[in-house]
Amino acid sequence: MGESKITVSDALITELIEKALLMRELSYSPYSGFSVGAALLTQEGRIYGGCNIENAAYSVTICAERVAMSKAVSEGEYRFRALAVAGGKEKTPDVYSFPCGSCRQFMREFCDTESFLVIVAKSTEDYKVYTLEQLLPNSFGPEALDMG
Ligand code: THU
């Protein structure tokens, strides 16, 4: 990835990953055993956390990323800069847990695809950074409905 796309400082990236790892501990995932934590940085500079919340009626489950984004929007913050996500079956994530397609589309509503960063982390030392454009190319968004 081109380094010029990185618009969030290393210190903020570390802070987001730490928060995502912390949020992961709050995951309610008795059915899959796959716990996910997310931390969202808004344009205003606030950080909102989220964890996945499962349900006995499986399809009602909500992903960590969408919990974090819903918390921000419901507090009146609609513009996002970056999101860190950490997940896996083990206590220490042994996989890079990527946002699902629904979460990518949810992000698309509130982000500039070229500058919004998705940080997929195993730890503060081991992570990958993508733009939303890389994870959701040629996407459908508000502009298509003259809302951009
Ligand atoms: N999950 C997330 O929290 N985020 C994603 O982007 C992918 C999946 C959760 C949902 C479910 O609780 C568990 O991971 C297994 O799918």
DSSP one-letter code for 23: H
Q: In the sheet that 80-88 helps form, which strands lie side by side, from edge to edge?
A: 47-51, 35-42, 80-88, 117-121, 127-131
Tokens at 113, concatenated: 């695809």
Alpha-carbon distances of 100 from 16, 32, 41, 104, 107, rounded to whole Å: 19, 15, 19, 6, 11
Ligand 1 atom with minimal separation from the 98 CA: 6
User: Which listed residue (65, 90, 125, 143) is catalytic?
Assistant: 65
> Which residue CA neighbors atom 4 of ligand 1 most closely?
63
> Which residue CA neighbors atom 7 of ligand 1 most closely?
100
Residue 22 backbone phi and psi in degrees, to 5? -65, -45
The answer to whether the pTM exceeds 0.75 is yes
Domains detected in the chain: 10-135 (3.40.140.10)
Ligand 1 atom with minimal separation from the 61 CA: 12
Spell out which residues line ligand 1, taking CB within 6 angstroms. 29, 32, 34, 36, 52, 54, 61, 63-65, 99-100, 103
Please name the amino acid found at residue 41.
Answer: L
Q: What is the pLDDT of residue 2?
A: 42
Q: Are 116 and 107 in contact (CB under 8 A)?
A: yes
Question: What residues in the chain have per-residue pLDDT under 50?
Answer: 1-4
Helix (H) or strand (E) holding 129: strand 127-131
Decide: helix, strand or coil at residue 125. coil
What CA dihedral angle connects 143, 77, 55 and 26, to 10 degrees? 140
Q: Which residues contact residue 54 at a Cβ distance below 8 angstroms, ignoring those fewer than 6 apart?
A: 28, 29, 30, 31, 32, 61
114 catalytic per annotation: no
pLDDT digits (tens, 9 = 90+) for 3-40: 445 689 999 999 999 999 999 999 999 999 999 999 99
Q: What is the pLDDT of residue 99?
A: 98
* Residue 52 CA, ligand 1 centroid: distance in Å: 6
